[in-house]
Structure 1
Amino acid sequence: MNARHTMRITRLMGAALLLTAYGAEALQVIKIKPESGDMTPVVRRVLEGASDSEVKLVFSKGTYRFLPDQAVSKFYHITNHDDGDKKIIFYVDGLDSIEIEGNGASFVFHGQCAPFIFQNCANVTMSNLTIDWDIPFLFQGEILAANASEGWFDARPLTEGYSWSFENGHVSFPNIDGFSFEEFGHTYAFNKETKDVAHGASAMRLRPSKIEERKGGILRFYQKIQKGKEPPVGAVFGSKGHVNRYAPAVYGKASSNLAMDGVVVHHALGMGFLFERSENITVKNGGVYLSEGTDRVISSIADATHFSNCKGHILLENLRIEGMMDDGTNVHGTHVSVEKAIDSKTLRIRLEHKQQQGNVFAEAGDDVWFIHQPSTRRAAVNKVVSVKKIDATFTDLTFKNDLPTATAPGDVLENKSWNPTVTVRGCSIGKHRARNLVFKTPLKTVVENNRFISSDLASILFRGETSSWFESGAVEDVLIQNNHFTLCNHGGAEQAVLYITPRHGKNFNQDEPYDKNIRFINNTIETFDNRIIWADRADGLVIKGNTIRQTKDYEPLHPNAPVFEFTNCRNVELVGNTIEGSYPEMIRADRTSRATMTVKDNTGL
């Protein structure tokens, strides 16, 4: 570190104000102003030199630039991300209280880095700042022509503000500090003007057999294209690379009372906000979206917000969420599979998905549900008394009582103690890949007074899993009311505005009721396609007082699909809804669903 940086840090530390309350430890307040050059060593020295367990960093308004060179380096298993060494700019571990007051500051990061990691903290507050990258980890280009029969499309790549190269018929990006993606990865077409996912533009895994450079800076990509699925001429396609979830912009782990107020993420090398095994979380008055005037079409590489194995209450309020390459939020636990019994009270469990390796499934004192094949229902509960980690995949759990006699390899466990209640209120979510909201918690969930403005897949998804991602579990108390849905599910894949679709392993019952007590009430849905609600294995689904209007914004992608479809459902109520439009089929239901279905007092049904 040079002398100027050392002097600057000394001045900052010397300017700290100590405020003491009766019976409380000192709160160390450190004021920081923007300066040219890399601010990473300043922040690192301030945090490492903090003398109290309660620290407040106050940033003056301005632009702060952060490089990874002098960041804290630590190996991390971050759920739903790629494992590995992370360069951490703000590394905060074990504080009783940490406050970061931005005052409208702009934090601009460079290269592979994790901006904020809060671990083992009792209180975390961030306010009024934006997070962005100087050069995004993206490749974008405008579609000029496409030919499905010959298997190619032409595009003019964007150059200003991006970093990529073309050599020997191969494109590499972002070429930052020696890092480049080897593949384009998931690629989507976006409307150039609205930056919405292009109508009918299904996801494309871009792996061209060859790339040709043509006149005027145009590249021709040779790849098999399904007829009718050509990337639209005039659209902008965006690629996010392969093996691309380096780290979230804000990551809270094993912490409590986390409050993000007025924090905006314009870009992230993974998710925007991720919280893992943490308690009581608020994200409000900010969001994840593109900066004003940018030509980028992708904000965060993955989910805007994500909550894994959390408890307490989660509040998402007054957020703008747009442009991400995955869900607006996903709230879930984790199913682990039973590997074998060690003794009468001890099980060896397996974390199944590669991006769950190293995660903490349970700790001593947690209650755990046993789910025995072939049933998908939560059964016996047992308390964990000790945990022995074998490696990143396997852990031995010892329980207070003997294991249930039905326990067998391939069964799954779910942590009962670590599930949150959830409120999503006053948010605007749309213009992105995947779903607006995904829920997998059995506790009370309320979604109200939001605006959902298009997504390429379902708007609200319920999908507990005992396969694939192994994200738990069944919901039991959900109220979705007074929301406005527009232009939903227009990326090409056949889903629905509200989509209930468990995904279980082959040895589990595929007909048994799973999600329960979902109430979809007094919502307004204005969209061009047919599918509004599609439910599989739901029990106690109430659809009441909603207004559904068919629009002419786009041609239907699935013109023969029904408005409502129910499979293996019980106790469905369709009451007092108004449907405006011309649909070929209103209700499609199998015998099981029809047996307990109530349909009355609807208009236009």
Structure 2
Amino acid sequence: MILRNQFLRLFAFCLPMVFASLLAFVSEVQARQVIEIKPVADDMTPVVRGAIDGVSGRDVKLVFSKGTYRFRPDYATDKYCTITNHGNGLKKIAFLFEDFDSVEIEGNGAEFIFHGRMAPFQFENCDKVTVKNLTLDWDIPFTFLGTVVECNSDEGWRDIKPFTDGFSWRLHQHRLEFPNVDGFNYSELGSTLAFEPVLKRVVHGAWDLHSQPRWVEQRDDGILRFHEPLRQYPPVGSLLSSKGDREHDRYAPAFQVKLCENIRFESVVIHHALGMGFLFERSEHATLANCGIYLREGTNRVVSTTADATHFCNCRGDLLIEKCRFENMLDDGTNVHGTYAEVDEVIDTHTVRVQLKHFEQMGFEFAGVGDAIWFIHCPSPARAAANEVISVEVVNERFVQLQFKSPLPADLDVGDLLENKTWNPSFTMRGCTIQNHRARNVVLKTPQKIVIEDNDFSSMMSSIFFRGESFFWFESGSVEDVVIRNNRFKHCAYSGMEHAILWITPRLGKAFHQDELYDRNIRFENNAIETFDNRIVWADRVDGLVIAGNTIKQTTDAQPLHPDAHRFDLINCRNVEITNNQYEGTSTKSVQADEATRRTLRVEGNHGF
């Protein structure tokens, strides 16, 4: 009886709390607006726009029925956008989400087909973003493609049989115009690259070509003759692909995430985009799981996205790319970096005006109130003292005025660099496949923890690339804690330009020291390497590099491009260990190190050297 009375009193005490919790749960469920969408129109842009515009709260979930959804730019949202590493301007946006507490998109296997110049998805200032189970493509790709029929280097022309099925172009007044969609054409062929017709990867030994023919001539059997002397002519039988002029060939990424937190993309596949696949700017905690950027099965195309598969600029928190497949992009598999801003004028003891240097950084939010900023005093590239931003005044897209909590360094001068200390992420990539694309598999520039493990890599240029630089892109910065382990590298660095599987190569302006240590603490361990050429690791200005337990097998499936290079080439390095590696091949050029490196170099326990 006593126990029963105690239970009743406890129940009576707890019941209001249980009831309140239940009401709160119901309220939370009711607050999130769930919108179910079916492919009910030939152009789904106004349907989706109306659905998003009609959301009354700050939490929304869009649920798509499985099917094909087509999107055109006619009724898309117009918005002037600054998009890092793309062209700024007025964009046509299909899915625009701004200032939401949560956004969830469940695709249920739906396929989204876009037409013309469109920015499919933009998420800005959202606290939680989740996108699952959908495929994204374009009806007409923004590339030109043709088979190389004949080349004549003496007379300076190449004959191309253009693809017509699925592609759009026209010959007008001896000038090729493409993509010839809704009145838009590039001003020139621009960036052009040769691909192997069967494997659909970049031709062995190929160079990037900027194409601007003097004139184009119509020949018999649908062949076009391009009158243009070239440094290197593409092989007969290869597929030559062009993506247009540099000013316009990066319209927008498929997914732009800006000023957001807690982002997850799962089972999202991109077959084509007019720029990058996934772009993250000044965002925090992001995961890509089981996502893909690759060609549709059976397609005659050779290009997926016209720029990087994934790109992270001034992000923070934990970034994870897991079990993803990236192929046939026209730039890197991923690029993780910060931004260097250059001092334009020291205004007073607490205030400095800085400028963004690269033309595709204009309008980027380099710093916010509360951010800690490193000062980098020329000629040393080292991070010096940090200071906290208390005020930000945007002058225009190029110039920003920053006021700091403490006095500025007395020796701060025009031409020095600022780097954002607060916005740097840790990064993990595991279980991914990256291959058959232009440029590098992975580009890394963050001082936080980096882990690259259990991936399959094949690269046109370097597979793993470290290049903080203040020369052109102004992408910071130096790394301090990197593990690259248990990966499989096969057929890497087959560009005509010399590269290495792992290349560490800071590129700083002439005013900076060119021999001062830059990157630190990189471990390259237990990787399996099969490749035709010699260059495995090429390192410059590294303090703490361990190359251990790797197996290297020289293959004979392709002609070596740089047979005189050493497997390990070390310049201005300190504390390098090359231990317990195994080599199988014919090259006798093992280790090359300059005098500065040899003082602390340890090479032992290796086999086949």
What TM-score results when the alignment is normalised by the length of structure 1?
0.95
**Which residue in 2 is equivalent to 1:294?**
299
**Which residue in 2 is equivalent to 1:239?**
242
8 Å Cα contact 1:311/1:421 also seen in 2? yes
**Which residue in 2 is equivalent to 1:601?**
605
Deviation at 1:521, TM superposition (A): 0.3
8 Å Cα contact 1:479/1:519 also seen in 2? yes
Instruction: Provide the C-alpha distance between the structure 2 equivalents of 1:25 and 1:363, rounded to a whole number of angstroms.
Output: 35
Deviation at 1:296, TM superposition (A): 0.4
**Which residue in 2 is equivalent to 1:373?**
378
1:537-576 aligned at under 5 Å gives the runs 537-576=541-580
* Secondary structure, counterpart of 1:355 in structure 2: coil
**Which residue in 1 is equivalent to 2:95?**
90
8 Å Cα contact 1:428/1:452 also seen in 2? yes
Kindly tell me the number of residue pairs found equivalent between the two proteins.
585
User: Residue by residue, what CA displacement relative to the aligned partner does 1:507-562 show, whole Å, maximum 9, x if unpaired?
Assistant: 10000010100100000110001111100111101000000100001000111111
**Which residue in 1 is equivalent to 2:430?**
425
**Which residue in 2 is equivalent to 1:149?**
154
Deviation at 1:225, TM superposition (A): 2.5
1:380 is matched by which residue type in structure 2? A
**Which residue in 1 is equivalent to 2:526?**
522
Instruction: Provide the C-alpha distance between the structure 2 equivalents of 1:218 and 1:22, rounded to a whole number of angstroms.
Output: 66
1:305-454 aligned at under 5 Å gives the runs 305-453=310-458
**Which residue in 2 is equivalent to 1:5?**
none
1:164-203 aligned at under 5 Å gives the runs 164-203=169-208
1:402 is matched by which residue type in structure 2? P
Is 1:582 the counterpart of 2:552? The answer is no
Is 1:81 the counterpart of 2:92? The answer is no
User: Residue by residue, what CA displacement relative to the aligned partner does 1:355-401 show, whole Å, maximum 9, x if unpaired?
Assistant: 10111111110000000011000000101111111111111111110
Deviation at 1:35, TM superposition (A): 2.3
* Secondary structure, counterpart of 1:281 in structure 2: strand
Instruction: Provide the C-alpha distance between the structure 2 equivalents of 1:51 and 1:25, rounded to a whole number of angstroms.
Output: 12
**Which residue in 1 is equivalent to 2:6?**
none
8 Å Cα contact 1:544/1:576 also seen in 2? yes
Instruction: Provide the C-alpha distance between the structure 2 equivalents of 1:272 and 1:24, rounded to a whole number of angstroms.
Output: 32
**Which residue in 2 is equivalent to 1:264?**
269
**Which residue in 2 is equivalent to 1:108?**
113
**Which one has the largest radius of gyration?**
2
User: Residue by residue, what CA displacement relative to the aligned partner does 1:193-245 show, whole Å, maximum 9, x if unpaired?
Assistant: 1111111111111111222211100111122223xx32011111110111211
Instruction: Provide the C-alpha distance between the structure 1 equivalents of 2:103 and 2:171, rounded to a whole number of angstroms.
Output: 45
Deviation at 1:149, TM superposition (A): 2.8
**Which residue in 2 is equivalent to 1:8?**
none
**Which residue in 2 is equivalent to 1:484?**
488
User: Residue by residue, what CA displacement relative to the aligned partner does 1:294-314 show, whole Å, maximum 9, x if unpaired?
Assistant: 010010010010000100111
Instruction: Provide the C-alpha distance between the structure 2 equivalents of 1:584 and 1:161, rounded to a whole number of angstroms.
Output: 50
Q: Which structure 1 residue ranges, 4+ long, deviate > 2 Å from structure 2?
A: 18-25, 147-150
Is 1:26 the counterpart of 2:35? The answer is no
* Secondary structure, counterpart of 1:592 in structure 2: helix
* Secondary structure, counterpart of 1:146 in structure 2: strand
* Secondary structure, counterpart of 2:345 in structure 1: strand
User: In the alignment, which of 56, 61, 67 is matched to residue 62 of structure 1?
Assistant: 67
Instruction: Provide the C-alpha distance between the structure 2 equivalents of 1:387 and 1:420, rounded to a whole number of angstroms.
Output: 23
8 Å Cα contact 1:19/1:26 also seen in 2? no
Distance 1:31 1:466, change over 3 A: same
Is 1:139 the counterpart of 2:144? The answer is yes
Distance 1:52 1:23, change over 3 A: closer
2:38 is matched by which residue type in structure 1? K
* Secondary structure, counterpart of 2:598 in structure 1: helix
Distance 1:177 1:19, change over 3 A: farther
Instruction: Provide the C-alpha distance between the structure 1 equivalents of 2:29 and 2:144, rounded to a whole number of angstroms.
Output: 51
**Which residue in 1 is equivalent to 2:10?**
none
1:221 is matched by which residue type in structure 2? F
Deviation at 1:491, TM superposition (A): 2.0
Distance 1:338 1:110, change over 3 A: same
Is 1:496 the counterpart of 2:500? The answer is yes
* Secondary structure, counterpart of 1:46 in structure 2: helix
2:461 is matched by which residue type in structure 1? L
**Which residue in 2 is equivalent to 1:124?**
129
Structure 1: gaps (5+ residues): 1-17
Instruction: Provide the C-alpha distance between the structure 2 equivalents of 1:481 and 1:407, rounded to a whole number of angstroms.
Output: 40
8 Å Cα contact 1:560/1:584 also seen in 2? no
Is 1:248 the counterpart of 2:253? The answer is yes
1:189-228 aligned at under 5 Å gives the runs 189-226=194-231
1:569 is matched by which residue type in structure 2? C
8 Å Cα contact 1:107/1:129 also seen in 2? yes
Which deviates the most, 206-215 or 48-57? 206-215
Distance 1:381 1:283, change over 3 A: same
Deviation at 1:36, TM superposition (A): 3.9
Distance 1:261 1:146, change over 3 A: same
Is 1:470 the counterpart of 2:474? The answer is yes
8 Å Cα contact 1:20/1:27 also seen in 2? no
**Which residue in 2 is equivalent to 1:14?**
none
Identity of aligned residues (%): 55
Distance 1:209 1:66, change over 3 A: same
Deviation at 1:595, TM superposition (A): 1.1
* Secondary structure, counterpart of 1:572 in structure 2: strand
* Secondary structure, counterpart of 1:593 in structure 2: helix
Deviation at 1:23, TM superposition (A): 5.9
Which deviates the most, 281-290 or 23-32? 23-32
How much is the aligned-residue C-alpha RMSD, in angstroms?
A: 1.2
Deviation at 1:584, TM superposition (A): 4.3
1:543 is matched by which residue type in structure 2? I
Instruction: Provide the C-alpha distance between the structure 2 equivalents of 1:523 and 1:146, rounded to a whole number of angstroms.
Output: 41
8 Å Cα contact 1:25/1:54 also seen in 2? no
* Secondary structure, counterpart of 1:387 in structure 2: strand
Deviation at 1:24, TM superposition (A): 6.8
Instruction: Provide the C-alpha distance between the structure 1 equivalents of 2:189 and 2:324, rounded to a whole number of angstroms.
Output: 30
